[in-house]
Structure 1
Amino acid sequence: MRRRTLPTLQEAAEILARRRTKPAPRPAPLAGKSLAPMLRRLEAQYGQGPGQLQMRWKEIVGETLARHTEPVKVTKGRGAAPGVLELKVAGPAAAIVQHQAPEILKRVSLLLGEGQIGKLRIIQGPVRVSAGKPQAKRRRLRGPLDAASEKALADGVAEATDGPLKEVLIKLGREVLRGSGS
C-alpha cells in the first residue's frame, strides 16, 4: 500500500477554493426568549407562587419569624376556592406560627391579592437561613490595644507563673478587651 503525500499549500488553497463548505449552524435561540410568553401565561393562570413570597418574606412576617420560617409552595384552589400556602417551620416555632396564622394570611393576601390564600399548612423541618440578603459576619478589630489597656492586662496576669499559661491568659485578655470595645 502506497502512502499518500500531503498537498502543498498552493494545492490545499485550490482544493478549498473548489469545494464549498457548509455554512456554520445557527446558534440555538435563548431559552428565556422562548419561555417568556409561556411563563407570562402560567403566571396569569396560577399566580406568582412562592418565588415572590420568598423574596419579600422578611417584610411580610417580620425578621424574627423569617429566621424560623420559609414559604415552600402555593397550591391554587379549584375554581374560585382560595389556595393553600405551605410553610416550612423550624421546630418549636410552629406553635407561634400557628397562633399568628390569621395575621400571616392577611399580610400574604396584601401581596398576592385578596382571596388567593385561605389556609396555611405548616411543615416542620430545617429552614434555610438565607431569607433575603445573607448577613455579614461580625469581624473583630485585630489592631493592637492602647498602652493603658495593655498595662492593665499585664498587671492582671503578673501573679501567674511564667510560661505557656501566662501567654495564653494574655492572648485571651487581649481578645476580650478588643471585643468589648475598650
Structure 2
Amino acid sequence: MKLARKKLPEKGPAIGRLKLQWADIVGPSLAKVCEPDKIGASPKGKGRVLTLRCIPAASTMVQHQSELIRQRVSVSLGGDVRDIRIVQGPLKQSPPAAPAKKRRTLTPSERESLLSSVQTIEDTDLRKAVLALGEAVLTTDES
C-alpha cells in the first residue's frame, strides 16, 4: 500500500477508503460518535495528520483512545499516520441504522395462553401493559 499510495493523489483515495472502512477499523461504538474528516500533511513534514470529527459529548473518550485509533488507521493506510486532531461538531455521515428486529405472529395457542395468564390481573391498564409486554417478548425473533 505504501508503494501504491506514492503514485495516487494524496487526499482522495486514502480518505475515501478510510470512510468506507471506518466501522471495521475502529469498531462500531467509536464509529457512532466520530468519523474521519480529512487527512493532511504533518507540519513537520513526516507522516500525515488525521482529523477526526466527533460529537462533543464523546470528544474526551475519543481523545483517550486516539493512540489506538492512530495505530489502527496507520496500519490500514500503510503506516504513516503520525498524529490525530479532534474537531468537535455534528457528524456529516449518519451512522448506519441497525436492522429492525424481525417480528413473528403469535400462534393461536400462544395467544390463548398469554390471555389466560393475564386474566387474574384486576387493574385493566396493568393487564394491557403486561399483555403488550408478553406479545413483544414472544414475537421478537432472536435470529
TM-score between the two structures when normalised by the length of structure 2: 0.74
- Unaligned 5+ segments in structure 1 are 1-39, 161-165
User: What is the rounded CA distance, in whole Å, between the counterparts of 1:100 and 1:85 in structure 2?
Assistant: 14
1:180 and 2:143 aligned: no
Work out which of the residue numbers 64, 82, 87 in structure 2 matches 1:123.
87
Q: Percent of aligned positions with the same letter in both sequences?
A: 27
Structure-2 residue corresponding to 1:66: 31
Secondary structure at the counterpart of residue 56 of structure 2: coil
Give the whole-Å Cα distance in 2 for the aligned partners of 1:142 and 1:43.
Answer: 57
Task: Tell me the residue number matched to 1:136.
Answer: 99
TM-score w.r.t. the length of structure 1 is 0.60
C-alpha contact 1:49 1:73 (8 A) present in aligned 2 = no
Distance (whole Å) between structure 1 residues aligned to residue 43 and residue 86 of structure 2: 20
Secondary structure of the corresponding residue to residue 74 of structure 1: strand
Q: Out of 94, 102, 116, which is 2:59 matched to?
A: 94
1:170 positional shift: 4.8
2:74 matched to which residue of 1? 109
TM-align CA RMSD: 2.9
Alignment-derived partner of residue 19 in structure 2? 54
Partner of 1:153 in structure 2?
A: 118
Larger radius of gyration: 1
Distance in 1 (CA, whole Å) between partners of 2:5 and 2:82 is: 23
* Secondary structure of 2:100's aligned partner: coil
State how far apart, in whole Å, the 1-side matches of 2:58 and 2:14 are.
23
CA distance in 2, matches of 1:42, 1:88: 26
Task: Kindly indicate whether structure 1 or structure 2 has the higher relative contact order, using CA contacts under 8 Å at least 6 residues apart.
Answer: 2
The Cα shift of 1:146 comes to: 2.8
Structure 1 residue 75: deviation in Å? 1.4
8 Å CA contact 2:106, 2:138 repeated in 1: no
Structure 2: any 5+ residue segments left out of the alignment?
Answer: none
Secondary structure of 1:92 counterpart: helix
Alpha-carbon spacing, 1:43–1:151, altered in 2? closer, same or farther (3 Å):
farther
- Partner Cα distance (1:78, 1:94) in 2: 23
